[in-house]
Amino acid sequence: MTLALIPLLPLVGAFIPCLFRNRNLNAASAGVIAGFSLVLLLLQTPAVFTGDMPLYSRDWIPALGLTFAFRVSGFGFLFALLVLGIGLLIVLYARYYIAREDPMGRFYTYLLFFMGSMLGIVLSENLLLLMVFWELTSISSFLLIGFWRHRADARQGAFMALVITGGGGFAMLAGFLLLGHITGSFELTAVLAAKEAVHAHPLYPVTLILILVGAFTKSAQFPFQFWLPHAMAAPTPVSAFLHSATMVKAGVFLLALMVPVLGGSALWFSIVTTTGLITLAFAAYMAMFKDDLKGLLAYSTVSHLGLITLLLGLGTPLAVFAAVFHIFNHAAFKAGLFMLAGIIDHETGTRDIQRLSGLKKAMPVTAVLTLIGCGAMAGVPLFNGFLSKEMFLAETLAPGLTGAWSWILPVGAVLAAVFAVAYSIRMLLGVFWGKPAEDLPGSPHEPPLGMTLSPAFLMAVCVLVGIFPAFFAGPLINAGAGAILGPDMPAYHLAVWHGFNMALVLSIIALAGGVVFYRQRHRLFDIHVWCSQYLDGKTLFESLVSRLMQAGDRAVRLLQNGSLQRYLFLLISATLLLGVLPFAGSRSPFLGPVAVTPLDPVTLVMGLILIIGAVATVRTHRNRILSIIMLSTVGLVVSLAFTRFSAPDLALTQISVEVVTIILLMMALHLLPTTTPEESSKARKRRDSILAVLAGGGAAALAMAILTRPYDTISDFFLAESVPGGGGTNVVNVILVDFRGFDTLGEITVLAIAGLIIYALLHKFERKAPETDDLGLAWTRDRFPLILAYITRPLLPLALLFSAYIFLRGHSDPGGGFIAGLITATVLTLQYIASGIVWTRPRLNFDNHIIMALGLILALGTGLTSWALNYPFLTSTYEYVTLPLIGKFEIASAMAFDLGVFLVVVGSVMLMLVKLGSINSADARTVSLSAHLDETRGNETMEKESH
């Protein structure tokens, strides 16, 4: 369970920072939660370093192969450590970075949400579970990138990131499903062991490409690289976190994870290596020309991701080892550099290299830290970036490479390294050296200590690892790479000095070339400006999106002309056609072999009343009040039909719903016109009548065809198990609250949502009822008949008692939560009808939202309780209790669930009706007036009134 808690703590605790107003508490709570996760992770250290892989597994949806399973492999451990370690530094840094007017609680909530999703990816044992977390990172990074939601560039950047990474995630899901199909399991342990089966399968290329699309989009690999620079619209702590250790690294994490199963083929090699090389060189080239510090770092990030991808594409043990090492190094120096860029921006008011200059006097500490970061980024010896970069250069010279690869790779790699040196120098010298800038928006000075602490820590790591790699990073990298490579793990010793070899020569060429490039930068800028007109991913993306939107608009306009009458006509005609077609093609007789039952006169009369009622509803529909009365006869006869055909529960439900529906329609009619004007042409009416008769005839024929055919039911199980399994004799109720309790939970949720939607639709909505009826007669002033009012008041406790009785007996006799809830809602509504909203509302002054919510919580809680006790969700139990006087009766846990149903029904129905009743503007004013008067007059008057 500890394993599952590592990602779940930040995910579930994400809401906590939001609860505080105090900025220190916001940050502290986020820090404490992430800190707890980190402690839990560190507890796994001994096991991971000895090569074990702690596992935690619980079934989630076994039928789909989805398990709630986590593992801590060495590689996952390395990643989780980066996520949490850098995450904690970000928490500290952001406390000083996020401005006073920004909602800091929300920021930390998003950050924790993101952190938890990212931990989920790196610790998942199940591919589908990994996918869930993968999508969560897409969503949470969308929220983070768009944190400054008032800014258009932030919204666009967030949207682009979501579309690209979400689309890639979709492809990856398909790839995972194929992979699971091939290997027969979604458990990583099983999938990773199935290399031969996967490679031999005809679907291998498709699977590979789909998964690669997912990884490449996330890691901003060419040609999906363009979203990342635009994601820089995010607050800098977000960029520092997303683009160093987490979000974009998820893609390379996945690539590395898949090396043992998908890697090693020619296809893998060519796609991944080529993509990596193009990304590496192209992005490094672009980074040289960015004036925005964060833009420079963004392209540098893309380039380094390309480097890692390229290494994983090579797939040799040493290359994978180098990739893992570079993941670690890049995370450390890039997170630090982003934070430093943020500090510069924060203290000077700009991130533009063209404007910044000579800051080293005013910000010496920042300058030194940036020097270290840029050194690591450029690959200067004694900084950590040098080590992994040299290993990378050595790998591009590996003897295994043949043909064109043997020179393209080293040349491309050195070229990219030259660019990297050039942009690193530009960032450092451009900002800190030269003549001190004078026209900056802010006056440059060192930031508060809390802000410097995080980058300082990271830069210390860069230097320590750069000088003593074996001591500070050795065990971690060995565990990480070992988890991927297994027995192929090379016996490599991390060291600063490997003798004078070819890789060192390349490093020196890169450093020297970088300096030359930096000196010649003005000439390069001119060439670049000319090229860049053709190379803007954002413009391409936006024109593609807008073209898609236009095509969508055209398609919609073709199908959707805005006329409901037309849609319904087409819809019903199509349904009719689809219903008739199977009959037309079938040779079996229309009526089945089951004999019809004899008709009795009472039922015949009831049926005729129903038919008359339905037809009369149509005939009278212009006189609206009359048609409601006609409609109510139909509803009543339907409930009688349920009684007649052995469904007492349905009859009770139908009759109470009938009452509430009619009340609802009456209330609506109060505000709607009372008559329907004559509008349709004769032809239209004839057309509609024909369709109606055909639809009705078809429906009747369908019913007849079903009723005369034999049938099998699965209900024997419910009938047999109702008493021994559910402890109730009313099978319908036991099905609702026990066997199919999950369905019911869904249904009451829908009910609650409907209540809320109605509330929202009517919120702040006022409408004045017409003062006269259609004939111009004023309504009577005597709105609340005295007799009705005084009869309903004593009726209330009696009716509530009755509904309690209906509720309690529900498990064994007709009744239960739904019916009792409807009855209660009806009697409460009756008070409103009899005495008016002005009188009733202060007296029935409870919040229907709360009742509804309590009901849902109760129903859900019942389910969760059984889960907590290690039974499946919503398992019920029961016990017989004997009490004096009352005798033996039964207590079932399902009763608590049913109580939840009851509360939701009461809450939502009352919410709908009371809200609907209070939108009449005349009434609404009286309500607020009377509330005001009540307050001023005090309780005395209230008492007098009620006597």
In the complex with other proteins, which residue's Cβ is closer, 292 or 721? Answer: 721
In the complex with other proteins, which residue's Cβ is closer, 160 or 914? Answer: 914
In the complex with other proteins, which residue's Cβ is closer, 337 or 825? Answer: 825
Q: Which of 761, 922, 929, 942 binds other proteins (CB under 8 A)?
A: 761
Print burial letters for 793-816: b (CB count within 10 Å at least 16), e (below 16).
eeebeebeeebeebbbbbbbbbbb
The answer to the question of residue 645 lying near other proteins (CB under 8 A) is yes
The answer to the question of residue 747 lying near other proteins (CB under 8 A) is yes
> What crossing angle do the helices spanning 152-183 and 127-145 adopt, rounded to 10°?
180
Helix (H, G, I), strand (E, B), or coil: what is residue 58? strand
**C-beta separation of 78 from 41 below 8 A:** no
The answer to the question of residue 677 lying near other proteins (CB under 8 A) is yes
- Report how far residue 109's alpha carbon sits from residue 92's, in angstroms, rounded to the nearest whole number: 14
Q: Which of 203, 669, 769, 896 binds other proteins (CB under 8 A)?
A: 669
In the complex with other proteins, which residue's Cβ is closer, 122 or 858? Answer: 858
Question: What is the amino acid identity at position 288?
Answer: M
Stretch that binds other proteins, among 160-168, 403-411, 758-766, 862-870 (CB under 8 A): 758-766
> What crossing angle do the helices spanning 247-262 and 127-145 adopt, rounded to 10°?
160
What residues between 586 and 605 interact with other proteins by CB under 8 A? 596-600, 603-604
Long-range contacts (CB closer than 8 Å, 24 or more residues apart) made by 877-886: 878/726, 878/727, 878/728
Backbone torsions φ then ψ of 68, nearest 5 degrees: -95, 80
**C-beta separation of 391 from 322 below 8 A:** yes
- Report how far residue 137's alpha carbon sits from residue 120's, in angstroms, rounded to the nearest whole number: 9
- Report how far residue 123's alpha carbon sits from residue 101's, in angstroms, rounded to the nearest whole number: 36
Q: Which of 64, 495, 707, 942 binds other proteins (CB under 8 A)?
A: 707
Q: How far is the CB of 832 from other proteins (least distance, A)?
A: 15
Print burial letters for 21-38: b (CB count within 10 Å at least 16), e (below 16).
eebebbbbbbbebbbbbb
From residue 797 to residue 826, the character string flagging contacts with other proteins as x (rule: CB under 8 A) and all else as - is ---------------xxx---x---x----
Query: Which of 461, 455, 459 is CA-nearest to residue 96?
Result: 455
DSSP string, 664-693: HHHHHHHHS-SB----S-HHHHHHHHHHHH
Quote the tokens at residue 114: 């993101």
Stretch that binds other proteins, among 19-27, 151-159, 278-286, 687-695 (CB under 8 A): 687-695
Q: Count CB neighbours of 878 within 10 A.
A: 17
Alpha carbon separation from 418 to 243, 493, 501, 517 (Å, rounded): 22, 27, 19, 8
Quote the tokens at residue 761: 């639709």
Q: Which of 101, 438, 526, 679 binds other proteins (CB under 8 A)?
A: 679
The answer to the question of residue 708 lying near other proteins (CB under 8 A) is yes
In the complex with other proteins, which residue's Cβ is closer, 561 or 882? Answer: 561
Q: How far is the CB of 634 from other proteins (least distance, A)?
A: 6
- In sequence order, the 6+-apart residues with CB closer than 8 A to the CB of 334 are 240, 243, 244, 297, 300, 301, 304, 377
What residues between 716 and 745 interact with other proteins by CB under 8 A? 718-719, 722-723, 729-732, 735-736, 740, 743-744
888 beta partners: 882
**C-beta separation of 819 from 810 below 8 A:** yes
Q: Which of 365, 691, 804, 924 binds other proteins (CB under 8 A)?
A: 691
The answer to the question of residue 692 lying near other proteins (CB under 8 A) is yes
Q: Please, what sign has the CA dihedral across residues 368, 372, 373, 379?
A: positive
The answer to the question of residue 471 lying near other proteins (CB under 8 A) is no
> What crossing angle do the helices spanning 127-145 and 104-123 adopt, rounded to 10°?
160
In the complex with other proteins, which residue's Cβ is closer, 569 or 805? Answer: 569
What residues between 166 and 185 interact with other proteins by CB under 8 A? none
Stretch that binds other proteins, among 9-17, 370-378, 541-549, 633-641 (CB under 8 A): 633-641
Q: Which of 607, 725, 836, 861 binds other proteins (CB under 8 A)?
A: 607
From residue 847 to residue 886, the character string flagging contacts with other proteins as x (rule: CB under 8 A) and all else as - is ----------------------------------------
Q: Please, what sign has the CA dihedral across residues 117, 119, 122, 123?
A: negative
Quote the tokens at residue 814: 């007709």
The answer to the question of residue 565 lying near other proteins (CB under 8 A) is yes
In the complex with other proteins, which residue's Cβ is closer, 704 or 789? Answer: 704
In the complex with other proteins, which residue's Cβ is closer, 446 or 747? Answer: 747
In the complex with other proteins, which residue's Cβ is closer, 231 or 837? Answer: 837
From residue 511 to residue 550, the character string flagging contacts with other proteins as x (rule: CB under 8 A) and all else as - is ----------------------------------------
**C-beta separation of 734 from 811 below 8 A:** yes
The answer to the question of residue 12 lying near other proteins (CB under 8 A) is no
In the complex with other proteins, which residue's Cβ is closer, 531 or 757? Answer: 757
- Report how far residue 741's alpha carbon sits from residue 896's, in angstroms, rounded to the nearest whole number: 12
Quote the tokens at residue 225: 């690289």
Backbone torsions φ then ψ of 874, nearest 5 degrees: 65, 20
The answer to the question of residue 771 lying near other proteins (CB under 8 A) is no
Q: Which of 64, 549, 602, 700 binds other proteins (CB under 8 A)?
A: 700
The answer to the question of residue 924 lying near other proteins (CB under 8 A) is no
778 beta partners: 772
The answer to the question of residue 3 lying near other proteins (CB under 8 A) is no
SS (H, E, C) 731-758: HHHHHHHHHCHHHHHHHHHHHHHHHHHH
Q: How far is the CB of 749 from other proteins (least distance, A)?
A: 11
The answer to the question of residue 647 lying near other proteins (CB under 8 A) is yes
Q: How far is the CB of 836 from other proteins (least distance, A)?
A: 20
**C-beta separation of 312 from 263 below 8 A:** yes
Q: What is the DSSP letter of 103?
A: -
The answer to the question of residue 610 lying near other proteins (CB under 8 A) is yes
In the complex with other proteins, which residue's Cβ is closer, 313 or 814? Answer: 814
What residues between 898 and 917 interact with other proteins by CB under 8 A? 905, 908-909, 912, 916
In the complex with other proteins, which residue's Cβ is closer, 351 or 915? Answer: 915
Q: How far is the CB of 874 from other proteins (least distance, A)?
A: 15
The answer to the question of residue 631 lying near other proteins (CB under 8 A) is yes
CA 820 to chain centre: 36
Alpha carbon separation from 848 to 793, 806, 841, 909, 910 (Å, rounded): 20, 21, 12, 9, 7
Q: How far is the CB of 796 from other proteins (least distance, A)?
A: 22
Q: How far is the CB of 801 from other proteins (least distance, A)?
A: 23
Q: Which of 407, 471, 765, 790 binds other proteins (CB under 8 A)?
A: 765
Place of tokens 């969308």: 142
The answer to the question of residue 919 lying near other proteins (CB under 8 A) is yes
Instruction: Using CB under 8 A, count the residues that bind other proteins.
Output: 110
Q: Which of 532, 543, 689, 928 binds other proteins (CB under 8 A)?
A: 689
Q: Please, what sign has the CA dihedral across residues 78, 79, 83, 84?
A: negative
Stretch that binds other proteins, among 69-77, 114-122, 243-251, 686-694 (CB under 8 A): 686-694
The answer to the question of residue 560 lying near other proteins (CB under 8 A) is no
What residues between 648 and 667 interact with other proteins by CB under 8 A? 648-650, 653-654, 657, 660-661, 664-665
In the complex with other proteins, which residue's Cβ is closer, 153 or 600? Answer: 600
